[in-house]
Amino acid sequence: MIDAFPAAPVPSAGPDAIGSPATRKRAWEEAMGGREAAKQHLKARLAGWPSRWLADRRELPAADREFLWRVARDTWRGIAAFTDRENGLPLDHVRFRSGSLAVADAQIGDYVSPSSIGLYFVAVSAAVELELTTRQQALGRLRRALETLRGLERYRGMLYNFYDTTSLEPTSRFVSFVDSAWLTAGLMVVRTSFPELAAEATAMIEERDYGFFYDPVFRQMSHGYFADRGEPSPYHYATLYTEARLGSLIAIGKGDVPEDLWFHMVRTFPSTCTWQSLRPQSRKRKQVRGYPVMGGFYEWKGLRYVPSWGGSMFEALMPTLLVDEQALAPHSLGRNAAVHVEVQRRYATEQLGLPVWGMSPAADPSPDGYREYGVPVLGTRGYPDTAVTPHAAALALAIEPEAAIANLRRLAASYDIYGDFGFFDSVDPRTGSVANAYLVLDQAMLFIALANHLDDGVMQKRFAADPIAARALSILSDEDFLD
């Protein structure tokens, strides 16, 4: 049924998502003396700004570990810089006109989503582990952001999907399951990393009941809830192998939804769904932990795997920032990750003839905005195979580190993509066009992946130490995707 299919990820909507906040935004800009003066005001609220357009490629270290440390340091500087110094929230993005750091030429996305806040919390924790910031500085950052969160308008304890970081008004009345879950994941890491904040983080975690999103008819999680209309989204997170699987584990670990949610998520869709990118094979019913599961796999050039929805890297590997799926689920999620990385690499280099690989939703290299990208054969529907994004290459560090490092090096060497704050968001390898943007969500993914690689899976260990994770992660071990 169509309403069992997952919706595509919601792109950053910005302050025009609903009418009245946009109107108030324009009035605020006029009161500040116009849009350019308002931009200057926004820049003044930021903790920093890049001082040079591109880094000198000759300065990038030759040794792999030092190279990754340099990327981590520069990326953290950007994450820290593009944070509102007054309320402690990260901005969604800053995008520059090619070659220019002038504020007048920049697009400052002064809004934020719960998922960006959650990943920012994890990034702050990782920065302490890498000694890129002090523990006291991190506590100051987190306390300021948590204080702001307490004052935000919410629905049943859940944050709305976007807030203006200047006015702190919601710019969307949609409550997203997956975005809410990533915020909870960040709070879980905060309370295992900073005992001083554990009580506050716990209170925020406990006020979020994920049973609110659970559909007992489909036994799946709803995409979300339209609070202004008083109705749930007609779509569900049906596909297992997407970024939403982390939220499903959290909901199970909290005890908000039954464990069988995990086994009602789709591994492959029936062959009668002719819109699929490939035809599923060996699709049969089996038992896992006493639950009936419909299995099956896709096959491409001899490689067998369970598909994601769009074939993007963050669907496949974003949850591995916090969950060591290779160790916990070696015959299912862990093996699947290895195949997804191999297909990402081979599809780009062999089939498309590109020098670099790693496709995932990112800023569009050509016009403005944000688009979904992926390797079509890796997804049931498949996203366009246009742009390569550094965060996708970084996510692969946990799977194929040598190939991932070589790929990051080729990106930095071949394109004008490495700026003062590390890698810009994406490049079209066919044209060399670069999206000269820093997106906090993508930069945080890149940075956390680097921290895990450089410090022995440190953020995975922090997450696993939380009692919610401890209750849920045991369900991963028994399944074999190819059985």
Interval 184-228: pLDDT, tens = 999 999 999 999 999 999 999 999 999 999 999 999 999 999 999
pLDDT in tens, 407-430: 999 999 999 999 999 999 999 999
pLDDT over threshold 50, residue 6: no
| Interval 104-142: pLDDT, tens | 999 999 999 999 999 999 999 999 999 999 999 999 999
Mean predicted confidence (pLDDT) in 283-307: 97
Min mean pLDDT across 6-15, 335-344, 384-393 is at: 6-15
* pLDDT tens, position by position, 459-480: 999 999 999 999 999 999 999 9
Average pLDDT over residues 299-321: 98
**Kind and range of the H or E run holding 470:** helix 467-472
CB atoms within 10 A of CB 402: 9
Given a cut of 90, is residue 20 above it in pLDDT?
no
Residue 413: HSE in the Cβ half-sphere, 13 Å Cα cutoff? 11
* Residue 26 to residue 389: CA distance in whole angstroms: 33
Pairing of strands 236-237, 220-222: antiparallel
User: 175: helix, coil or strand?
Assistant: strand
- Residue 13 — very low, low, confident or very high, per pLDDT cuts 50/70/90? very low
pLDDT tens-digit series, residues 372-412: 999 999 999 999 999 999 999 999 999 999 999 999 999 99
Contact 61, 67 (CB under 8 A): yes
Q: CA end-to-end span of the chain, whole Å?
A: 26
In contact, 374 and 382? CB cutoff 8 Å: yes
286-297 residue pLDDT tens: 999 999 999 999
In the predicted model, is pLDDT for residue 15 greater than 90?
Answer: no
Q: Work out the angle at residue 115's Cα, subtended by the Cα atoms of residues 400 and 388, and round it to the nearest 5 degrees.
A: 40
- Euclidean distance between CA atoms 344 and 385, whole angstroms: 10
What value does the mean pLDDT take over residues 272-276?
94
* pLDDT for position 7: 31
**Angstrom distance (rounded) from CA 475 to CA 263:** 10
At the top level of CATH, the class of 2-25+40-476 is mainly alpha
Give the other-Cβ count within 10 Å of 281's Cβ.
13
Distance CA 49, CA 37 (A): 17
Residues 6+ apart with CB under 8 A from 172: 13, 17, 18, 160, 161, 162
pTM: 0.94
* Mean pLDDT in residue range 337-366: 97
Contact 112, 170 (CB under 8 A): no
3-state secondary structure at position 439:
strand
pLDDT of residue 234: 94
Binned at pLDDT 50, 70 and 90, residue 39 comes out as confident
Q: Indicate the SS3 state at residue 164.
A: strand
Q: Are 381 and 309 in contact (CB under 8 A)?
A: yes
Q: Worst-scoring range by mean pLDDT, 27-36, 51-60, 240-249, 446-455?
A: 27-36
Mean pLDDT, residues 300-320: 98
| Contacts with 48 (C-beta within 8 Å, 6 or more apart), sequence order | 77, 80, 81, 82
Distance CA 442, CA 389 (A): 9
Looking at the predicted structure, is the pLDDT value of residue 335 above 80? yes
What are the residue ranges of helices labelled H in 372-439? Answer: 390-395, 401-414
Separation in Å, CA 107 to CA 11, 42, 52, 213, 371: 16, 11, 17, 34, 17
